[in-house]
Amino acid sequence: MSKEIKENAVYTTAETQEILKISNSTIKRMLKNGLIRANKIGGQYRILGKELLRLVSPSVEKKVIVSYLQLKDRVVKKINKW
């Protein structure tokens, strides 16, 4: 059962994980790298629904693909040097 993302709702990292179907380590990495913008309140992150909607939009998917391919190229070049 998928959960509807409400634009003005505020989600915890656990709720975000459930909605996006990603692991705890993935959400931490996304927060650290700035892929998901969040506010830290009392040591815990709170993520706006509009941020999740932005994340799942097609334009963001294109940026992720470009970023992945750039990273892949750097890794391949480094490996080939060995």
- Count of Cβ atoms closer than 10 Å to residue 1 Cβ: 2
Specify the pLDDT at position 74.
92
Task: Tell me how far apart the alpha carbons of residues 6 and 78 are, in angstroms, rounded to a whole number.
Answer: 43
Q: Which domains does the chain have, with CATH numbers?
A: 10-81 (1.10.1660)
Q: What are the 10-residue block averages of pLDDT along the chain, 82 residues in total?
A: 79 93 92 90 92 81 79 91 84
The predicted pLDDT at position 1 comes to: 46
Q: How far apart are CA 44 and CA 38, in angstroms?
A: 10
What are the angstrom distances between the C-alpha of 10 and each of 7, 51, 66, 74? 9, 10, 29, 36
| pLDDT for residue 60 | 65
Helix (H) or strand (E) holding 8: none
Q: What pLDDT score does 9 carry? A: 93
